[in-house]
Amino acid sequence: MSYLVGVTALWAFSFSLIGVYLSGQVDSYFAVMTRIILATLMFLPFLRPAALSWSSRLGLMAIGSVQLGVMYLFFYQSFLLLTVPEVLLFTIFTPLYITLIDDLLARRFSPRFLIVAMLAVIGAAIIRYDGVTSHYWLGFLVVQGANMSFALGQVGYRHLARSLPKDVAHRHLFGWFYLGALCLAVPAFWLLGDTAKLPATPLQWGILGWLGLVASGLGYFLWNKGACRVDAGTLAIMNNALIPAGLIVNLLIWNRDADLTRLGIGALILAGSLWLNARWAKRSGAATASLAATRG
């Protein structure tokens, strides 16, 4: 849980940095490619190819290509179809995809995970809803593609991690994740990028460096590592905790307008969903232990 909380705080700054200093000024595909290249270079020295089978390597690369590569392709395309508030609004459905994909892979249905995920969506909607335009359905579907890619990557890593060698640290394996994302980021910039909109100032290059090494490199590593240590309900909720965190950072540092009442109500609902999920998990664990004791 501590990993997810820490990365949430980390990524809360990233949204404002991108919006203030990069958006509309630096080509988005170049920014994505640069971030993934830096993250890859960060983890290549730790990579131990002999520690994994080829199937596990390809599995990590596939997860990276989906969670970062495909997700970014959908995500940046959505800004051509929607306003920024609409994009933010439509990202709140990620928790639902996480719970449903996790249940699908585990061949089960967990109503409690779906309930707490829906609470997280409601809380985020209260914070973020600013109305939508009349022509947004295509944009909605594109954002859902991004949401599903991000959710599939998170859940996929949780499941794949169970089969990875227990005596090898995650940092020695995670380079494959970024190599997979790089396989999509480079062709995306080659085909869709605008070379006339490359970074022009040291500040922009510095922000890209921070986003690549810290937000993307360290951030996705710790987020996926944290995803392996919590249940699907907690992971789903934490995906929407970024919305109030990002608004708080933006309000305090860049003095942007935010509805504090809606922010407070939405944050309370998110916190309540975390509490409810933890309480249900505790009851479920107690019931399992009691049943085991009875049978013993």
pLDDT of residue 293: 37
In tens, the pLDDT along 85-100 reads 566 667 777 877 887 7
Binned at pLDDT 50, 70 and 90, residue 264 comes out as confident
Strand segments (E) across the chain: none
* pTM of the predicted structure, to 2 decimals: 0.77
pLDDT of residue 59: 92
Look at residue 285 and tell me whether its pLDDT is greater than 60: no
In tens, the pLDDT along 114-141 reads 776 677 677 766 766 666 566 567 877 8
- HSE (side-chain half, CA atoms, 13 Å) at 68: 37
Q: Angle CA(41)–CA(170)–CA(160) in degrees, nearest 5?
A: 110
Look at residue 231 and tell me whether its pLDDT is greater than 70: yes
Look at residue 294 and tell me whether its pLDDT is greater than 50: no
- Average model confidence (pLDDT) across the chain: 79
The stretch 29-52 carries a mean pLDDT of: 91
Burial 172-188 (b: 16+ CB within 10 A, else e): ebbbbbbbbbbebbbeb
> Contact, 204 vs 11, CB < 8 A?
no
Residue with tokens 């965190």: 245
Segment of 37-51, 103-117, 220-234, 237-251 carrying the highest mean pLDDT: 37-51
